[in-house]
Structure formats: structure tokens, C-alpha cells
A and B are shown apart, each in its own frame.
Chain A
Amino acid sequence: EVQLLESGGGLGLRGGPLRLSCVGSGFLFRNYPMNWVRQAPGKRLEWVSAISYIGGDTYYADSVKGRFTISRDDSRNTLYLHMNNLSAEDTAVYYCARNDHGDYGVFDYWGPGTLVPVSS
């Protein structure tokens, strides 16, 4: 069974850093592109970042470019989101989501999410 589990959420300080992790199991993690998606309270889903299955290609939403870094450690089946210079607008539930194989295999599995409230 495919499972994704995020961790690392919790109170973030404005201007400060935070690192999120997502561990995948039940599939060959290294073969799949991965994403972070977030949802602020009462708001729409927002794609944040993606990383290719080799890890050489990364992509970011304009709202986080230059502040967030996505990475992966395939030896640990783990996806990371390194967040810096946090702002109140980063307050959200952060989900990791897998892309299945093929051009259309977007977000086929999601983790339960981890809440990141940002406070001053």
C-alpha cells in the first residue's frame, strides 16, 4: 500500500526557518516525481514545489521561489521542504503528493498533511 507521511510541522517564527519531511513507503520512492501542495485555512489548494524522480529538476511557485528549497534523499525514501524567511502567508497545511508515471499521473497519492502556523 502506498503511504506518504509528513512531519516537521509546528509553530514557525516569522522570518525563521522550518524543515518539513515526507517519508514514502509501499512503492519504489526513487522512481517517482514528488510535490508539495499547501492549503491555507479556508483557502484553495496551492501547488508549492516539485522535484523530478532523479532530483535534478526542481520547480517552485512564485510565492515561495527563493525562500523554499525542495530536495529528496532516495536512500531514506524521504522528501524535504526547506523553508526560510517564513511569513504569515505561509501558514497552511502542507501535503506531499506523488506523481504517478506518465505525463498525466499528477498527485495520485497524498499524505495526511502537516500544519505549519507561522507566528510573530
Chain B
Amino acid sequence: EAGVAQSPRYKIIEKRQSVAFWCNPISGHATLYWYQQILGQGPKLLIQFQNNGVVDDSQLPKDRFSAERLKGVDSTLKIQPAKLEDSAVYLCASSSVGGGEQYFGPGTRLTVT
């Protein structure tokens, strides 16, 4: 069984630029999560999808972050414009059901200069 795929693995941008991350969950997993993990901290949930609907985006900075999962499979997370404090690893995870065991991708390490 293929795991959760993410790309790119690394990204370096200047502040005020835009960036997008892509995630392909495990086949058949209805729930998809995006997390932000700042160095030395645990993952913080940004947004949770159930199929193509948003279940929780309470911690998503909506003035600059957006995410979509149009066909209930792949998802993209966008930051526009980026700030220095957005430097972090962005993890995508999926589970077969909400609250079920999550399988994580390798993450995308974003550096904003």
C-alpha cells in the first residue's frame, strides 16, 4: 500500500511570495489533515477535510492560508503572502475515518527568508 505523498520536500521563498504544497493521501482514506510543525513543537492542525468538505479550519490563518480538496482525493495548501513565521514543516496525513489512526507523509520543509 502506497503511503501519503507530499511535494515538494523542500521549499525556500522570500517573504511576501506565494507557495503551494501538494498532498496525495492513501487510497480510500476519506479524511485528510494538514499540520504545521514549527521546530521543537508538536504538529498543529491547520485544516481537516472529510472527503471534499472542511470539518475543522479553526486554526487556519485564513487571511493568508487556503486549502482545497476538490475531488475528495488530492489536496493543496497555499500560503499567500508568506511571512517569516511561516517557516515550518507542513505535514499532510490521512485516515480512513475522522479521528482514526493517521498516516503521515514525509512533510514539506518551508523556509521563508
Partners in one complex: no
Q: Which residues of B contact A (CB under 8 A)?
A: none
